[in-house]
Amino acid sequence: MTRIRYNEANGVLTSKPILAGTDLVYVEINTTENAYTIKRTSDLTTLSQGSAVDVNTLKKKAKLAMKALGAVFNDEVRRKEA
């Protein structure tokens, strides 16, 4: 997996479940409060949370937190035009 895809509803971006180590987790990004929360899907336990100044930084911080929890992301390689 390279990117985290989000669905938007009422100012909250929610990801699909992602395997992080042995747990299935998902990310919620609240765009009005500029905060993210990573929760386990089975019992909705909060595993990580944080805040940032803008949504782009929130997404980057959430992805780094997912990596720290054991999620594996492939590096994205883009073709360069000559």
Domain ranges of the chain: 6-69
70: phi then psi, degrees, rounded to nearest 5: 115, 5
pTM: 0.85
Q: What is the per-residue pLDDT for 25?
A: 95
Q: Which residues contact 6 (CB under 8 A, 6 or more apart)?
A: 13, 14, 15, 27, 29
Mean pLDDT across the stretch 43-67?
Answer: 93
Q: Percent of the chain having pLDDT more than 70?
A: 98
Provide the phi-psi class of 2: left if phi over 0, else alpha when psi is between -120 and 50, else beta: alpha
One-letter amino acid at 75 equals: D
Q: What is the per-residue pLDDT for 1?
A: 62
Cα separation, 12 vs 15, in Å, equals 10
